[in-house]
Amino acid sequence: MSRTGKKPIAAVSGVTVTIDGRQVAVKGPKGELSLNLMDVVNVEQGADGLTVTPANDSREARAAWGTTRALLANMVTGVTAGFQKRLAIQGVGFRATMQGKDLKLALGFSHDVVIVTPEGITLAAPTQTEVTVTGIDKQKVGQVAADIRSWRKPEPYKGKGVRYVGEFVARKEGKKK
């Protein structure tokens, strides 16, 4: 039994959920998201909110049960509060600036890296060493943040690179003489 799947998704004021066959659409103050359901799970809308149940007792249905519930809960959270990832840039000469809607990063290459802002995502550089990725789709926000980080991951000797705020980077000792 899925502990996550058993929990109902509470109804939030200002959010409308539409179930149309195998398609679930969630609309809220920040935008609209939709999800195509797998055949092995069912979603019902009740007085207490949304409930996800497995269609049968197969292993695949039990696996998809909690996942589907988590995806729907993230959609409700996204259209009400949204999601945010913060990145910190460390290193001499490493900096981030906004170029219109796009993000321009100086990461020690011979050229600047320009990140084109995807649809549904907002990029911001409040300071030269900080980047904020916000949006309503949790997966998309995390993927854009991971793509930015992948340009220069933090290295273990000096800690230079792009890291998530609060991320621990294991440091190594330099070469001894």
Does domain 83-164 fall under CATH 3.40.225.10? My reply is no
Inter-CA distances, 59 with 7, 56, 70, 71, Å = 19, 9, 18, 19
pLDDT of residue 11: 85
Inter-CA distances, 8 with 3, 4, 52, 63, 74, Å = 11, 9, 7, 17, 13
pLDDT average, residue stretch 23-40:
94
Whether the CB-CB separation of 134 and 83 falls below 8 Å is answered with yes
Instruction: Provide the residue ranges of all domains of the chain, joining segments of one domain with +.
Output: 3-80, 83-164
Checking if the pLDDT of 172 tops 70, the result is yes
The third-level CATH classification (topology) of the domain covering 3-80 is Outer Surface Protein A; domain 3 (3.90.930)
One fold for both 3-80 and 83-164?
Answer: yes
Model pTM?
A: 0.90
| pLDDT category of residue 12 using cuts at 50, 70 and 90 | confident
**Tokens linked to 74:** 């993230």
pLDDT of residue 2: 67
pLDDT of residue 1: 63
pLDDT average, residue stretch 32-54:
91
Q: Is 39 helix (H, G, I), strand (E, B) or coil?
A: coil
pLDDT of residue 173: 92
Chain segment 95-146, per-residue pLDDT in tens: 999 999 999 999 999 999 999 999 999 999 999 999 999 999 999 999 999 9
| pLDDT category of residue 48 using cuts at 50, 70 and 90 | confident
